Chain A
């Protein structure tokens, strides 16, 4: 099928239009000059259905599918800059309408994942950038003489060097986080203290584990434990094999167990026989 596709593509290349799904246009992209075949970016203007929320700016955002792993934010920004000034580029695992939180993630606690094929949201400064990108001819080159992109051994070595953490920076970050956290916890506590013993508008008083008479936390495990204790208490009181009918039932139960076991065994044997497992040699 691919072979057939290849032939088709050759035909269409001469016509100057690449096959692309409805609404998208295909832009070939290669790592560098040396490569023969290219991947295809499928781009279109970012639009959402009526009523759906999206934080990406309307008209100015370009939605890009199938960004190859060696293509970073910077490369994509550079490649699309001929179409117009690029405001921001965001690469994501899968399409997501909400912009990711702006504050940068800690590089110590959220190491960069190994890149695969991703999607990108490119925001241009003007809507004309999007239009220009849609008719881009390509092929785009990720790594050029002037802007080489590292891959293979060179990339791994620089990744390794980056991963050797700076303990001072880590300490500073941890301290800052914990300070903020402690403050938050302290605030909550004072708030809880303020509410302690004070009835709300309907007259209910909230009981917490920090109060004068602490209570068990409401967990599922705790409630299960209580139920289990109740059951045991009941079971202790029950008489077994006391009445004749109980006796009869126990016997019947035993027989039923044997029957069930027998049925299981028969099935097992059936299976073994089917696998010819009874030929000793």
Chain B
């Protein structure tokens, strides 16, 4: 009895402890490893618990996903309390509408009765139309749409109300020539006028139904604090069975050319063109009720289906697919669910997650542009065939009447985009990734971050001319003059054909749905924002500069010539064929990436009459930041390849070297250049002798104090492993001496056998080859092992990591491995280099380059390519950089390791293990944990930084830079100054040390390239004999090293190594606390008496002068900007 009681008491104590820790934990927002007592873990399960576990197993992917989905639904669902408030408002609206007075009958064109404060929400072009109008209150007011179904999502709750117009308003031939739509608009105008005077409403606006500008609707919002709670949308619709369905088939015409084009019919016997879209819009109004009934019978039966629809709506919204004319909106997706229920692909017992999965699976496998689907079950022969619809519409999904195409406005591009997204999401769901939910439903995918290149067509009025050029008059007549939507389809088809293999996916933004005051005219088409196209590129197709056409004598040749216009020319190829072909001018990878720009501007000018001044192509703006100082035609990939080729030559020489006591077993690169991630690639060094001091006996050049600092040449590290041998000594000091002997021998042999200029030191040999300088480090595989050995008193040899052994292992083992893996990644993804360099450039430009080392930045960039979900791997530096910023700012570095599965070597189980190990060891790990297959703990590259403060700063900067940059890139008038986000804010620093450009060797690499800089002693032409140039001599870096050594515990120093002219100094607040005297911490401090005591404080005035003393010649000025230290 007693022990049990004691156990219970202990248990209680534990419980209370945990309870106390739980509210604390979100505050510090750090996950703690879960500790459950034995009793709790092994108690008998209850029935309920077993049921829940089983349900989770069957209906969801994991318990985490289930909890996440439940949380999300809770967040976006409408609460009962709000529902009640909305219900009250709806009843009031209903009464108001019923009270609107009627007006007597007038001619349609006589709109003098309309009061001054309200305008007709429709472009009445042409104005004259027959028929008469009178206003009578609606015969019936019904609530339709997602609000009733319970699938509406927060925020922006919309309640749709259908107003059935009385029969008396309509006349026989109202179907013709937009008469019905005119009446509908006038009906709304009158309603709006009366409702606007009612104090019940906070705002009364017009808008369009799904962006269709023939069908305005009225938006009502309550007054007061509920204004943002709900929007009631009023849709007038015709009385049931008023229009005869046979008049509304997709092959029928209801807008006469004579009327629309304002000329008498020429009578040439040409049949009137069908108006399928016009007919559909009328049909949509008549079918509101029946759709509602269908959906409510299907969805009301099961909560799982409703959840599924809600999740799908979130999914669409995150991908910006649901808005505008032709968007894949919530109604469509509900109908799709209804269709899948009717075909038994979805069962009513399924969970929301399963519904989501089934719908995505269906979208992936079914191409509605080829095989349309129908909800119609009847086999009435009078109904039109699917083929008729395919002829009239790009995407076909018929409703239960078999007459109405629900996807009438959806373009093929939009549907393909939906399919593309569904495919990506299915891959993600199947991959069993831990954070699938986050990526699937919580990550927004704005256009600028999803597509490699985007282009804006601006101004939109230009598209009107394009319509005429593309001969789209019937389409214009059909869409009632909306040239933007009329031209979309043909335009995207044109570009898709032209871009061919370069393109993976072309998407277009849908014209936004405007909202305007009732006293204003509806906005013109050209004011509907801009048309933005997104291009997802195919990296394999980008390398070619040639469009190969058919052979000259074949009939297709004429089409090809017609398509490409003057760019097409006859060419003779090496295999003897004479073909039509188009060749684009592009020499470097940078230019090749931008060939789509050339294609697009050429085709648009040729076929659509859109001049290149209206095409704003956003694809290469950021590339300017990684172009060399005087380079404009390349982003440096070629120069990097050149350096890598030189390295390959050198490694061949090393392999074949004769006379070394041990043979070379491996040569591995270990420098950023050799993995294509050095921001500015090295150029062959050709130093001018007159510019330097000579050190004749060593054949080396030295900098001269009276000249500007010579050009910066950084030797590229190459690790050279020698074969193992019993002859190697087993003592660390002796190994170092033997290595030094090898370095000397290597230099000797390379000079003798290949005539290369070499310089050996104890740790490395510098080799000058073709102007590139390589730093060869001889490595002995067992050396880290020897450094690790510790002899215990009992004579046991145990291995313990020491700083020296870790450092050596990193430099000679892990770094070469990483370099070769990333080199491979570059071969797979040509954009890797650009993204990595842009990212590095940005971090360094923010003066944080020294806080975060090169390798960790490269790995974060690699993660963008290896784990791009929910995107695809970037194919342009621009989109890659945006995603880098987004990853940096949104990733929860505290609670998650970033797993970079290089070469997919990590298995799923290993990843799970790593994650749980991570939680348990969190406090001992660095703040930024990067896991690679070689490093399961994730501490090799980030052990020495970034510190928590630096990472925090980086996250904040990225979060601020991202929206600014995206806004700039999405601005159709051009991005303005793209370098804005690369300029660091300097106002946070306490002291600024200004440096003299004369002694900054990389001055020209600055973000804002200086107009003039100093001569750095380089020749244009190579010289025959060559001395070793000045290596790694960068005065600002030497200066910083001194500053950090001397004042490292008092201040932090920040500097941009690429031509920064200023060093930012931040005092450490903790070291400015007065401290009692201690012999070990007097560095740079002085003793002052404070009250009775003697305390130590930093001797700031002397330190500021030290800054100038230590950097004599380099420092221009030391500005103390804040008096923070005096407080």
A271, B31: Cβ atoms closer than 8 Å: yes
Q: Return B71 CB to nearest CB of chain A, in Å.
A: 5
Listed residue (A153, A218, A223, A279) with the most chain B CB atoms within 10 angstroms of its CB: A153
Closest chain B residue, CB of each to CB of A44 = B1079
Q: Among residues 1070 to 1097 in chain B, which have CB atoms less than 8 Å away from a CB atom of chain A?
A: 1072, 1074, 1077, 1079-1080, 1082-1090, 1094, 1097
Interface residues in A255-269 by Cβ distance below 8 A to B read: 255-256, 258-269
- Residues of A within 8 Å of B9, CB to CB, are none
Provided the pairs A153-B1114, A160-B1030, A263-B36 are in contact, do residues A272 and B1087 lie with their beta carbons within 8 angstroms?
A: no
Question: Is A220 touching B796 in the complex (CB atoms < 8 A)?
Answer: yes
A217 adjacent to B1079 (CB under 8 Å): no
CA distance A239 to B618 in the complex (A): 67
Minimum Cβ distance to chain B for residue A248 (Å)? 11
Q: Per-position contact with B for A130-158: 1 when CB-CB < 8 Å, else 0?
A: 00000000000000000000011110110
From 165 to 182 in chain A, residues with beta carbon under 8 angstroms from any chain B beta carbon are 165-167, 170-171, 174, 177-178, 181
A121 contacts partner chain B, Cβ-Cβ < 8 Å: no
Closest to B1030 in A: A160
The CA-CA distance from A181 to B761 in the complex, in Å, is: 21
A32 to B1108, CA, bound (A): 12
Shortest beta-carbon distance, A10 to chain B, in Å?
A: 11
CB pair B1033–A160 under 8 Å, yes or no, is yes
Give the residues from 708 to 751 in chain B that come closer than 8 angstroms, CB to CB, to chain A: 729, 731, 733-734, 736-738, 740-741, 744, 747
Residues of B contacting A252 in the complex (Cβ-Cβ under 8 angstroms): 42
Is the Cβ of B442 less than 8 Å from the Cβ of A264? no
Chain A residues near B796 (CB, 8 Å)? 218-220, 223
CB <8 Å contact, A281 and B318 = yes
Asked if A39 CB lies within 8 Å of chain B CBs, one says yes
Q: Are B1099 and A270 in contact (CB under 8 A)?
A: no
Interface size class of B (residues with CB under 8 A): 35 or more
Q: B744–A170 contact, CB under 8 A?
A: yes
Q: How far is the CA of A119 from the CA of B999 in the complex (A)?
A: 32
Set of chain B residues within 8 Å of A178, measured between Cβ atoms: 734, 737-738, 741
Does A124 belong to the interface (CB within 8 Å)?
no
Closest to A20 in B: B1087
Answer yes or no: A116 CB below 8 A from chain B CBs. yes
Q: Which of B53, B444, B1083 contacts A116 (CB 8 A)?
A: B1083
A185 to B737: give the CA distance in the assembly, Å. 15
Encoded as 1 (CB less than 8 Å from any A CB) or 0, chain B from 49 to 69 comes to 000010000000011100110
Asked if A35 and B1105 make an inter-chain contact with CB atoms under 8 angstroms apart, the answer reads yes
For B184, the chain A residues whose CB sits under 8 A away are none
- Asked if A275 and B29 sit within 8 Å, CB to CB, the answer is yes
Determine whether the beta carbon of B1035 is less than 8 Å from that of A153.
yes
List chain B residues, Cβ under 8 A from A237: none
Q: Would you give the 0/1 interface string for A87-106, flagging 1 where the beta carbon is closer than 8 Å to chain B?
A: 00000001100000000000
Q: Is A278 part of the binding interface, using a Cβ–Cβ cutoff of 8 Å?
A: yes
- Complex alpha-carbon distance, A152 and B705, angstroms: 10
A235 at the interface (CB under 8 A from B): no
Judge if A274 is at the interface, Cβ distance under 8 Å.
yes
Interface residues in B739-785 by Cβ distance below 8 A to A read 740-741, 744, 747, 759-762
A16 CB-CB contact with B under 8 Å: no
Q: Hey, what's the 0/1 contact readout for B1-32 against A, CB within 8 Å counting as 1? A: 00000000000000000000010011001011
Q: Which of A225-275 contact B (CB under 8 A)?
A: 252, 255-256, 258-275
Residue A191 interfacial (CB < 8 Å) = no
Tell me whether B1042 is interfacial, beta carbon within 8 Å: yes
Contact of A170 among B76, B761, B1087 (CB under 8 A): B761
CB pair B444–A281 under 8 Å, yes or no, is yes
Chain B nearest Cβ from A127, distance in angstroms: 22
Do B797 and A37 have beta carbons less than 8 Å apart? no
Tell whether, in the assembled complex, residue B1100 and residue A2 are in contact, meaning their CB atoms are under 8 Å apart. yes
CA of A114 to CA of B1043, assembled, Å: 10
Docked pose: A278 CA to B1046 CA in angstroms: 48
- In the complex, B576 has a CB within 8 A of chain A: no
Q: Specify which chain B residues have a CB less than 8 angstroms from the CB of A163 in the assembled complex.
A: 761
Which residues of the partner chain A approach B1072 to less than 8 Å between Cβ atoms? 1
Chain A interface size range: 35 or more
A204 contacts partner chain B, Cβ-Cβ < 8 Å: no
For B29, give its contact among A167, A259, A271 (CB under 8 Å): A271
The distance in angstroms between the C-alpha atoms of A2 and B703, with both chains bound, is 41
Return chain B residues, CB-CB under 8 Å to A177.
Answer: 733-734, 737
B1045 touching A69 by the CB < 8 A rule?
yes
Distance, CA A157 to CA B79, complexed state (A): 74
Q: Tell whether, in the assembled complex, residue A219 and residue B42 are in contact, meaning their CB atoms are under 8 Å apart.
A: no
Q: Is the CB of B1094 within 8 A of A259?
A: no
Taking CB as reference atom, which chain A residue is nearest B57? A258
Residue from B26, B698, B740 in contact with A174 in the complex, judged by beta carbons closer than 8 Å: B740
Q: Which of A36, A220, A265 contacts B798 (CB 8 A)?
A: A220
Q: Decide if B703 touches A95 in the complex (CB within 8 Å).
A: no
Of the residues A9, A36, A117, contact of B1088 by C-beta under 8 Å: A9
B897 to chain A, nearest CB (A): 14
At the interface, yes or no: B1109 with Cβ under 8 Å from chain A? yes
CB-nearest residue of chain A to B1115? A152
A113 to B22 CA separation, bound complex (whole angstroms)? 49
Q: Is A8 an interface residue (CB 8 A)?
A: yes
Q: How far is the CA of A264 from the CA of B434 in the complex (A)?
A: 13
Chain A residues with Cβ below 8 Å from B25 are 267, 270-271
CB distance from B909 to the nearest CB of A (A): 14
Q: Which of B40, B698, B1102 contacts A39 (CB 8 A)?
A: B1102
Residues of B within 8 A of A151 (CB): 1109-1110, 1112
Within 8 A of B (CB), among A13-33: 19-22, 26, 31-32
Contacts of A94 in B (CB 8 A): 1080
In the complex with contacts A170-B760, A217-B797, A115-B72 CB distance below 8 A: no
B22 and A270 form a contact (CB under 8 A): yes
Shortest distance from the beta carbon of A85 to any chain B beta carbon, whole Å? 26
Given contact pairs A40-B1087, A277-B442, A152 touches B741 in the complex (Cβ within 8 A): no
A51: which B residues are within 8 A, CB to CB? Answer: none
A275 to B27, CA, bound (A): 9
CA distance A94 to B1100 in the complex (A): 22
User: Contact at A19–B68, with CB atoms within 8 Å?
Assistant: no
Task: Report the Cα distance A256→B895, complex, angstroms.
Answer: 24
Q: With A174-B737, A279-B75 in contact, is A152–B1097 under 8 Å at CB?
A: no
Looking at the assembled complex, report how far the CB atom of A37 sits from the nearest CB atom of chain B, in whole angstroms: 4
Is A66 close to B, CB under 8 A? yes
- B377 at interface, CB cutoff 8 A: no
**A170 in contact with B441 (CB, 8 Å):** no
Measured between beta carbons, the chain A residues less than 8 angstroms from B103 are none
A164 adjacent to B67 (CB under 8 Å): no
Q: Are B1045 and A116 in contact (CB under 8 A)?
A: yes
- Chain B residues near A32 (CB, 8 Å)? 1109
Q: Is B1046 a contact partner of A154 (Cβ separation < 8 A)?
A: no
Is A52 interfacial (CB-CB < 8 Å)? no
CA distance A259 to B1072 in the complex (A): 50
Closest-by-CB residue of A relative to B1042 is A114
Assembly CA distance A266 to B36 (angstroms)? 13
Given known pairs A153-B705, A153-B999, the reply for A115 and B1045 (CB within 8 Å) is: yes
In the complex, chain B residues whose CB is within 8 Å of the CB of A66: 1082-1085
Residue in B744, B1074, B1101 whose CB lies within 8 Å of A171: B744
The verdict on B242 contacting chain A, using a C-beta distance below 8 Å, is: no
Q: Answer yes or no: A3 CB below 8 A from chain B CBs.
A: yes
Is B1045 in contact with A114, judged by CB distance below 8 angstroms? Answer: yes
Q: Is A68 in contact with chain B by the CB < 8 A criterion?
A: yes
Between A37, A156, A178, the greatest number of chain B beta carbons within 10 A of the residue's beta carbon is seen for A156
The 10 closest A-B pairs by CB, nearest first: A152-B1112, A274-B26, A153-B1113, A5-B1088, A37-B1101, A117-B1083, A220-B798, A256-B41, A265-B64, A21-B1077
**Could you name 14 residue pairs across A and B whose Cβ atoms are closer than 8 Å?**
A5-B1090, A19-B1087, A26-B1087, A65-B1082, A66-B1084, A116-B1047, A152-B1110, A165-B761, A218-B795, A219-B799, A260-B41, A264-B34, A271-B31, A280-B318
* Given A40-B1086, A273-B71, 6 other A-B residues pairs in contact with their CB atoms under 8 A: A5-B1090, A152-B1111, A164-B695, A164-B759, A261-B63, A266-B67
